A and B are shown apart, each in its own frame.
Chain A
Amino acid sequence: MGLANRGRELRRENRVNWSSWGDFLAMGGYAFYVWGSYMVTVAMIAIEVLMLARRKRGALARIGRAGAANRSSP
């Protein structure tokens, strides 16, 4: 009894932050601030990854065009 039980109790208290999905999304009334932070961060990272992919495609296409031009003109 004693310590072991207390530890289990504490862990159970910590584990259950949210009783439902609605509770999770509500963020204790701070949904706008918390999700506003996380959404914008995720969006910024997604935009950066997409821009990097586009930049690479553009650079490769330019090299491909230059190569084709070189091959067609002797």
Chain B
Amino acid sequence: MRESLIASGPIWFRYASPQAFFPLAGTLARWFGAAAAAFCCLGLYLGFFVAPTDHQQGEAYRIIFIHVPAAWMSMFLYLVMAFWAAVGLIFNTRLSGMMASALAPTGALFTFVALWTGSLWGKPTWGTWWVWDARLTSELILLFLYFGFMALQAAIDDPRRADKAGALLALVGAVNIPIIYFSVKWWNTLHQGASVSLTGAPTMAATMFAGMAVMAFGFWFYSIAAALMRVRCIILERERASPWVSQTGVANCAGRIA
């Protein structure tokens, strides 16, 4: 039933098969990697050479160009991971679980970057590296959720069972994302409120906002490239016994390397 649905369904179902997705992921990863490099270069140029000095924080505020995009990505990647986890649970497609696993390390990376840069920003502006306020604490919990997801999957030998267990953890942990996002509204936090919201104009200079937005796109494209590169590795590791891996160009390529 499921197989026939995939075979006869619309075009995106075709790419639900790891075999069909493998070359497409490689092409996409290269393009998104190139776009990420271009956007990050432009974003850093805007951030350091076009955006003016902040009249309150001096140059310390320039951490914003990585801190805010990294924090956005840390939350966004978790939602994408939870989405693929849910798709995997509902439709029982192999590739969905692989996508969820492929996103976790990159999400953890951006969570760590958000915490690290936030700490280095907090010291000169708040006078402290760390404070247990709602925003910082819930972001730290997000890092532990990513680590927990990866550790749980690594602890289960059968990849399909690992996908299911990880998916449950990812979905339950998703409740933390709105808590992080709205923490600065719901509680009194040392962390400032949002400078950019979906409903109002950003409360910052236009060039500062431009630098931040371009960096956010750069990090986004990087995340896509990294996740696609990782999902290709996962496909090779899990499907190594199937004929399309061992008897096709993939194996020829492997022969040259081995």
Contact between chains at A59 and B233 (CB < 8 Å): yes
> What residues on B are CB-neighbors of A41 within 8 Å?
66, 70, 113, 116-117
- If over half of B's interface residues share one DSSP class (helix, strand or loop), that class is named, otherwise mixed; here it is helix
- Interface residues in B102-125 (C-beta closer than 8 Å to A): 105-106, 109, 112-113, 116-117, 120-121, 123-124
A8 at the interface (CB under 8 A from B): no
- If over half of A's interface residues share one DSSP class (helix, strand or loop), that class is named, otherwise mixed; here it is helix
Closest chain B CB from A11 CB (angstroms): 10
Number of B positions contacting A (CB below 8 A): 45
Closest chain A CB from B109 CB (angstroms): 5
> What residues on B are CB-neighbors of A32 within 8 Å?
120
Which residue in A34, A45, A64, A70 is a CB contact (below 8 Å) of B257? Answer: A64
> What residues on A are CB-neighbors of B62 within 8 Å?
27, 30, 34
Contact between chains at B123 and A33 (CB < 8 Å): yes
Q: With the chains together, A56 CA to B230 CA distance in Å?
A: 8
Contact between chains at B109 and A17 (CB < 8 Å): no
Mark A residues whose CB is within 8 Å of B: 13-15, 17-18, 24, 27-30, 32-34, 36-38, 40-41, 44-45, 48-49, 52, 55-57, 59-68, 70
B3 at the interface (CB under 8 A from A): no
Contact between chains at B66 and A30 (CB < 8 Å): no
> What residues on B are CB-neighbors of A36 within 8 Å?
120
Segment at the A interface, from B6-14, B52-60, B82-90, B159-167 = B52-60
Q: With the chains together, A26 CA to B207 CA distance in Å?
A: 22
Q: With the chains together, A40 CA to B81 CA distance in Å?
A: 25
Task: Indicate the member of B59, B105, B230, B236 with the most A CB atoms within 10 Å.
Answer: B59
Given contacts A66-B246, A67-B251, A70-B246, 7 further A-B contacts (CB under 8 A): A14-B207, A15-B49, A17-B49, A28-B59, A48-B106, A64-B251, A66-B240
> What residues on B are CB-neighbors of A33 within 8 Å?
60, 63, 120-121, 123-124
Contact between chains at B63 and A63 (CB < 8 Å): no
Given A30-B59, A44-B109, A62-B240, do A17 and B230 touch, yes or no (CB 8 Å)?
A: no
> What residues on A are CB-neighbors of B233 within 8 Å?
52, 55-56, 59
- 13 contacts across the A-B interface (CB closer than 8 A): A14-B207, A17-B49, A17-B52, A27-B62, A34-B59, A34-B60, A37-B63, A45-B222, A48-B105, A56-B236, A60-B250, A62-B237, A64-B257
